[in-house]
A and B are shown apart, each in its own frame.
Chain A
Amino acid sequence: MARTTMMALLRRGTPKIPRCLPSILPRFLHSHATSFGFKQVQEDEKSKLVGGVFSSVASSYDLMNDMMSAGLHRLWKDRLVSKLHPFPGMKHLDVAGGTGDVAFRVLESITSVSDRALQEGLSGIEDETKIFVCDINPNMLNVGKKRAVEKGLGEDCSLHWVEGDAEALSFADGSMDGYTIAFGIRNVTHIEKVLSEAYRVLKRGGRFLCLELSHVELPVFKQIYDYYSFSIIPAMGEFLAGDRDSYQYLVESIRRFPNQETFARMILDAGFQKVEYENLVGGVVAIHSGLKL
């Protein structure tokens, strides 16, 4: 599967030719080597390198998100949370959600909804809403905690900040109603492990939602998007955050990530049912969803 993706990339003639590209790829790429952008690195190295990237971008993460997506990332996250359809008493896990964007939206959706008739109907139920934000990088979590305090949610006992690895979650089996991962699954070493962990922690009836930058296939828009990704974004990263390499990694990792159909099949393989995806902005971003039963 990785081989075909690589071949497809070469055929498309991406503007930036990978720096070191072995001509003969190992058959099962994920066993010993993995991709870090367009570089091939050892598996144990990848998480260190990703850690390095996010430690350096943590402080300007939100600013760069706004600049790169022209503020659209807010709407994408709104759409993700509205698809999730949170309810009071929910146990939700947001993975790789360090700065808390999705978690805040989920919390706000629940507290606003409970002002309405929903509260009357569910008043007999004593379930407490709990939203867990899990991130492997403590710097991102600190930024998130600070933002929570700024928003006035610092004292809210529904939010829990947990440091952990998406491939080995510390939560019990079948303990979560919802699982979201927004712009995080691209950075993990083993996507299949993350998906099976997600399957493990979800309850029966729980939903998995993944918001991720994905592949654009529309003819003219694709060229514009490629130019924007490879020429403008690293330059922006250098200018605003003083870090060209991290943003070069970012755009390369988008191209290396499986496309919508392949990723949907991976979600199916992990055991989820009713796997669907929705393209936003012509495929720049895709929301995949699955149901555990």
Chain B
Amino acid sequence: MLKSSPAARRLLAGIVSSRRIGSPFSLLQLSTAAFDPASNPSTHQDQPPALPTPETSRSRENDGEAHRRSTGKREGVSYQEEQARVLRAALSHVPRLGWSETAMILGAKDAGISPSIVGSFPRKEAALVEFFMDDCLQKLIDRIDSDMELDKLILSDRLSKLTRTRLEMQAPYISKWPQALSIQAQPANLPTSFKQRAVMIDEIWHAARDQGSDVDWYVKRTVLGGIYSTSEVYMLTDHSPGFRDTWNFLEHRIKDAFDLQKTIQEATYLAEAVGAGLGNSMQGFMKRMFQK
């Protein structure tokens, strides 16, 4: 896996999060094939228009770009920025009200904007949770860049410290975090939440500057992802001061993973040795057979 600069990674993370809140383009089409009263209509993003007449589509292409660009600049403040401001203000209400629309409405009022803007978020509460996850990722990247002590630690300690840093960011919201997890687990929100977690785990591995190439890239991410999720869930019911028990749990799990890796390595060597030994005896046996 090639190493990218922190600045490049931050840019990528920024792009990923900005696309999620709303399309950078002002014109976005959602179309439904048929309105079925029994089920919710599904909306698709970024689909081309269904069979426009050639003339209108051509003129649209030329004018549309200019219009999109001009109206964006004229306003000076884009709707993504305002939405981000509303969500940030809403976070302060979350410990009391949970990850709910009420928190978002109060956030909008704090930001001085009409609460109608809450209606413009595609998946209301999920937008708030996803904003928080992106925010934590940004903070994590900042902490990684400013931390000089990481190089002095061994790999397992580095991983432990980074994961702990990230989990600590959730501490103020821990009373409402089960709700956030359930929101993230909903089918509509699952793809985005999975992607956010994958990016975060990737970020941690990058920062750990792992030089080894003995285990597969995917296996590393999966294992760390599993450790992160179990520690996260453990933290939900941890009442020890400063979440001490969670950090112990985390360190033990990371150690277990490394021990398991060593065990697998040793098992591989053993299998090779046995195979070689067996092969030798087979060779000897065949030679004797054919010599006779």
Does B bind A? yes
Q: How far is the CA of A136 from the CA of B34 in the complex (A)?
A: 33
Are A293 and B116 interface neighbours, CB within 8 A? no
Is B215's beta carbon under 8 Å from chain A?
no
CB <8 Å contact, B56 and A217: no
Chain B positions 57-102 with a Cβ under 8 Å from a chain A Cβ: 59-60, 63-64, 67-68, 71-72, 75, 77-79, 82, 86, 97, 100-102
Cross-chain contact A90 with B116 (CB below 8 angstroms): yes
Contact indicator A291/B117 (Cβ below 8 Å): yes
Asked whether A279 lies within 8 Å of B31 as measured between CB atoms, the reply is yes
Nearest-Cβ distance from residue A123 to partner chain B, whole angstroms: 10
Q: Which residues of A contact B115 (CB under 8 A)?
A: 87, 89-90, 177, 205
Q: Which residues of chain A are near B116, meaning CB under 8 Å?
A: 84-85, 87, 90, 177-178, 203, 205-207
B152 to chain A, nearest CB (A): 47
Chain B residues within 8 Å of A76, by CB: 35
- At the interface with chain B, which of A224-232, A241-249, A264-272? A264-272
Minimal beta-carbon separation of B81 from chain A (angstroms): 9
Q: A278-B32, A278-B43, A293-B75 are in contact. Are A203 and B27 (CB under 8 A)?
A: no
Partner of A274, one of B26, B52, B77, B101: B26
Closest to A270 in B: B71
CA distance A269 to B72 in the complex (A): 11
Chain B residues with CB under 8 A of A271:
71, 75
Taken residue by residue from 20 to 35, chain B's Cβ proximity to chain A (1 for < 8 Å, 0 otherwise) reads as 0010001111111111
Q: Which residues on A sit within 8 Å (CB–CB) of B68?
A: 268
Size bracket, chain A contacts? 35 or more
Task: For B30, give the chain A residue with the smallest CB separation.
Answer: A278
B49 cross-chain contacts in A, Cβ below 8 A: 217, 260-261
Given contacts A278-B32, A291-B120, contact A4 B103 (CB under 8 A): no
Q: Which residues does chain B contribute within 8 Å of A293, judged by CB atoms? A: 75, 77-79, 82, 113
Chain B residues lying within 8 Å of A289, measured Cβ to Cβ, are 120
Please measure, in the bound complex, the distance between the C-alpha atom of A278 and the C-alpha atom of B32, giving whole angstroms.
7
A218 within 8 A of B: yes
B59 near A4: Cβ-Cβ < 8 Å: yes
Q: In the docked arrangement, what's the CA distance between A264 and B60, Å?
A: 11
In the complex, the answer to whether A4 meets B55 with C-beta atoms within 8 Å is yes
With a cutoff of 8 Å between Cβ atoms, the chain B residues found around residue A205 in the complex are: 82, 86, 108, 113-117
Contacts A122-B105, A291-B79 given; indicate if A72 touches B35 (C-beta within 8 A). yes
| Interface flags, A83-95, vs B, CB<8A=1, else 0 | 1110101100000
Report if B212 contacts A (CB, 8 A): no
The answer on a CB contact under 8 Å between B27 and A275 is yes
Expressed in whole angstroms, the Cα–Cα distance for A160 and B82 within the complex equals: 31
What separation, in Å, do the CA atoms of A213 and B67 have in the docked complex? 25
Determine if A17 is an interface residue (Cβ-Cβ < 8 Å).
no
Chain B CB within 8 A of A219 CB: yes
A146 within 8 A of B: no
Stretch at the interface among A59-67, A147-155, A280-288: A280-288
In chain A, what residue has the closest Cβ to B97?
Answer: A121
A 194-221 binary contact with B (CB < 8 Å = 1; else 0)? 0000000011111100000000011100
Which residues of B have CB within 8 Å of A8?
53, 55-56
Contacts A205-B117, A207-B120, A217-B50; is A273 near B71 (CB within 8 Å)?
yes
Give which listed residue, B30, B43, B103, contacts A121 with CB less than 8 A: B103
Other-chain residue from A75, A85, A120, A273 in contact with B35 (beta carbon distance below 8 A): A75
Whether B37 is near chain A, meaning CB under 8 Å from some CB there, is yes
Which B residues lie within 8 Å of A178 (CB)? 116, 119
CA distance A90 to B49 in the complex (A): 34
Q: How far is the CA of A116 from the CA of B55 in the complex (A)?
A: 51
Complex formed: what's the CA distance from A177 to B22 in Å?
21
Contact B26 A275 (CB under 8 A): yes
B102–A117 CB distance below 8 A: yes
B275 adjacent to chain A (CB < 8 Å): no
Q: How far is the CB of B7 from chain A (nearest CB, A)?
A: 29
Contact of B117 with A278 in the complex, beta carbons under 8 Å: no
27 A–B contacts from the bound complex (CB under 8 Å): A11-B53, A84-B116, A90-B115, A121-B102, A121-B103, A177-B116, A178-B116, A203-B113, A203-B114, A203-B116, A205-B115, A206-B114, A206-B116, A218-B50, A262-B56, A264-B27, A265-B63, A265-B64, A268-B71, A273-B26, A277-B30, A279-B30, A280-B41, A283-B31, A291-B79, A291-B120, A293-B75
**Given A118-B101, A205-B82, list of 16 further CB < 8 A pairs?**
A76-B35, A118-B102, A120-B102, A122-B106, A218-B51, A259-B56, A260-B29, A265-B60, A269-B67, A269-B71, A273-B75, A273-B79, A279-B31, A280-B32, A293-B75, A293-B79
By a beta-carbon cutoff of 8 Å, the part of chain B in contact with chain A is 22, 26-35, 37, 41, 43, 49-53, 55-56, 59-60, 63-64, 67-68, 71-72, 75, 77-79, 82, 86, 97, 100-103, 105-106, 108-109, 112-120, 124
* 10 nearest A-B pairs in the assembled complex, by CB-CB distance: A85-B119, A121-B102, A205-B113, A205-B114, A205-B117, A203-B114, A279-B31, A217-B51, A177-B116, A278-B30
